[in-house]
Structure 1
Amino acid sequence: MKYNYHMHSCYSDGTNTPEELIGLAIEHGIQSVALTDHDTVEGVEAFMAAAEGTDIKTLPGVEISSCMGPKIVHILGYGIDIKNAELLKLLNSLTAEASEYTKYTFEKYVSKKFDYSWEQVLRHNQNRKGFYLSSLFYAMLQDGRFNGWDQYRDFVAYCFHFSGQSYGAPIEKSFEVIKKSGGKAFLAHPKLMKLSLDEEYKIFKQMKVLGLDGIEAYYPAHSPKESNWYELCCERLGLEVSGGTDWHGMARLNTPLYVDGNIQMN
């Protein structure tokens, strides 16, 4: 089965609309998908509505910026009630933090280097609630500061050289709001935590006690051996297995559009 339970739209830092994501799923024969925008569910209704009348199964989702001690981790919530007040309160707060981080990075490291103003960023991102590095790049691309999205990766690397993500909800809070909204909580891309196998397993056990339901075992950065390891961890700890590609459209070129396997999220 072709599936992708980790996709981003233009409502966070992707470049596709929710409707375009469903169109891509139809075009490529993807049977099951979830929209998991960063700290927002604004695109979920349109995403699910676009799949009505098709054979594509959709899940309402979100990727919550979280922290466990000093470590930033991303938690995927699946099957959530996107109208839940407590969930929306947390997501709105995190979106505001993301925008503050983006504006800080822009004013300190980007504006002078590229001779570009925040007003120009706003002009090309009207009605945008959350601002991300992709929002900066998109605006500058429109005004000729860049030639194409193939330059975005280097732009992100330049920004992260000075200031990486430092905001996130305590992981206990992320688990709490996902559960209260009727969803399940999964750890995204565990390899990106950059831990040893022993450290990974230890933190998985700690997260399970706090409310973790599963792990994203299948991810483009995971080798087959690593995916097997994460599946084994899930088996040992009684966790569920998920997978996705972290699709961002033009903002992350060369990302696979789907995973082919036997995982079926409920």
Structure 2
Amino acid sequence: MSAIDLHTHSTASDGTMTPAELVRAARDAGLSAIAVTDHDTIDGLPEALEAGVKAGVEVIPGCELSVQSETGALHIVGLWVDSYSYTLKKAFDKIRDRRKSRNEGMVAKLRDLGFEISMEELLAQGAGTIGRPHMARIMVDKGYVSSFDEAFVDYLGKKGRAYMPKDNISAEQAFELLHSTGATPILAHPFLLNNNEEKLEKEIHRLKELGLEGIEVYYSSHTVEMTGFIKKMAKKYDLQPSGGSDFHGYVKPDIHLGKGAGNLFVHHSVLDGLKAFRQSKGLKV
């Protein structure tokens, strides 16, 4: 059976493999296709697409948008984005400015808590989308915490002492942006949005009305019951099933490419379904 992974991250955002390394890792893991979906950037896509040709792995160009919802933050994956889109690059520049202000605020909070961390150190962590995982890496490297989990639970997560909320774009803006560039918007890891099925369904219905076209049925932390529920939601609201591991590399050591926490399997037929949907709308695949 042919496995795929439609939700992965590289060093262009907060992953630990370069786009080319990520694609080669997908080949080594026996995957026939992979979507590179870095946070709020498309900068790594040309490298990933070139590596895909060399490695014999189909690369779906994508991105992942952080979106402000009525019920809190949610993530929208865009598949088949234009890798050179000026519209996307301009939008991501604005998002990056917002992220920079947040990073500066969180670094200031960490310094107030006694951690010797500077913005210069943070920016030196990479050329991609810089954020909390990079702060956690510095904290681990300097011995302030013993693990990434400790850094997030105690300091960088939503209940952490240095946390600051994101200033995200709206769902309406996200869908308009993705649709304008020919991408298919997918709701990422829906159960991380809300574990209450009734409330989650209301949000899925609302997002469908705004322009949502797909949903991650298959995800690393989904139980059999969760997968079954999202399958029903996909059918009820005419959403295209998608799925992926949300692989980041060693910053999420329990999540493996194509396999998630060990039980994930996204069949190539999921990709075939997404392609058929796009072709029915006259969009490129």
Both proteins in one fold, TM over 0.5:
yes
Q: C-alpha offsets along residues 232-259 of structure 1, whole Å, 9 cap, x if unaligned? A: 1111111100001111101111112114
Distance verdict in 2 for CA 1:192–1:173, change over 3 Å:
same
Q: Which amino acid aligns with 1:72?
A: A
Distance verdict in 2 for CA 1:202–1:215, change over 3 Å:
same
Distance verdict in 2 for CA 1:3–1:164, change over 3 Å:
farther
Query: 1:140: Cα distance to partner?
Result: 4.4
Match of 1:26 in 2: 27
C-alpha separation between the residues in 1 aligned to 2:35 and 2:7?
6
Distance verdict in 2 for CA 1:58–1:123, change over 3 Å:
closer
C-alpha separation between the residues in 1 aligned to 2:117 and 2:199?
43
Q: Which amino acid aligns with 1:36?
A: T
Number of equivalenced pairs: 261
Match of 1:210 in 2: 210
Q: Is the contact made by 1:9 and 1:37 (CA closer than 8 Å) also made in structure 2?
A: yes
User: Which stretches in structure 2 are left out of the alignment for 5+ residues?
Assistant: 259-263, 276-285
Query: 1:124: Cα distance to partner?
Result: 3.2
CA RMSD of the aligned region, Å? 2.0
C-alpha separation between the residues in 2 aligned to 1:50 and 1:214?
27
Match of 2:227 in 1: 227
C-alpha separation between the residues in 2 aligned to 1:116 and 1:70?
35
Q: Which amino acid aligns with 2:265?
A: D
**2:97 partner SS:** helix
C-alpha separation between the residues in 1 aligned to 2:44 and 2:223?
31
Q: Is the contact made by 2:217 and 2:243 (CA closer than 8 Å) also made in structure 1?
A: yes
**1:105 partner SS:** helix
C-alpha separation between the residues in 1 aligned to 2:6 and 2:114?
36
Task: Please show how residues 1-266 of structure 1 align to structure 2 within 5 Å.
Answer: 1-69=2-70, 71-108=72-109, 110-118=110-118, 120-122=120-122, 124-125=124-125, 128=127, 130-143=129-142, 145=144, 151-158=147-154, 159-160=156-157, 161=159, 162=161, 163-258=163-258, 259-262=264-267, 263-264=270-271, 265-266=274-275
Q: C-alpha offsets along residues 15-58 of structure 1, whole Å, 9 cap, x if unaligned? A: 11111101111111111101111101111111111111333111
Query: 1:146: Cα distance to partner?
Result: 5.5
**1:256 partner SS:** coil
Query: 1:92: Cα distance to partner?
Result: 1.5
Match of 2:280 in 1: none
Match of 2:261 in 1: none
C-alpha separation between the residues in 2 aligned to 1:172 and 1:222?
27
Segment of structure 1 superposing worse, 27-36 or 138-147? 138-147
Q: Is the contact made by 1:121 and 1:135 (CA closer than 8 Å) also made in structure 2?
A: no
Q: Is the contact made by 1:82 and 1:88 (CA closer than 8 Å) also made in structure 2?
A: no
Q: C-alpha offsets along residues 86-124 of structure 1, whole Å, 9 cap, x if unaligned? A: 22222111122222212211111x224454131551573
**1:251 partner SS:** coil
Distance verdict in 2 for CA 1:135–1:35, change over 3 Å:
same
Q: Which amino acid aligns with 1:99?
A: K
Q: Is the contact made by 1:186 and 1:214 (CA closer than 8 Å) also made in structure 2?
A: yes
Q: Is the contact made by 1:67 and 1:170 (CA closer than 8 Å) also made in structure 2?
A: yes
Distance verdict in 2 for CA 1:164–1:115, change over 3 Å:
closer
- The one of the two structures with greater contact order (alpha-carbon pairs below 8 A, sep at least 6) is 1
Distance verdict in 2 for CA 1:42–1:123, change over 3 Å:
closer
Q: Which amino acid aligns with 1:156?
A: F
Distance verdict in 2 for CA 1:112–1:164, change over 3 Å:
closer
User: Which stretches in structure 1 are left out of the alignment for 5+ residues?
Assistant: none
Q: Which amino acid aligns with 1:235?
A: K
Identity value in percent: 24
Q: Is the contact made by 1:99 and 1:130 (CA closer than 8 Å) also made in structure 2?
A: no
C-alpha separation between the residues in 2 aligned to 1:120 and 1:92?
19
TM-score w.r.t. length of structure 1: 0.90
Query: 1:69: Cα distance to partner?
Result: 2.6
Q: Is the contact made by 2:102 and 2:164 (CA closer than 8 Å) also made in structure 1?
A: no
Regions of 4+ moved over 6 Å = none
C-alpha separation between the residues in 1 aligned to 2:208 and 2:23?
32
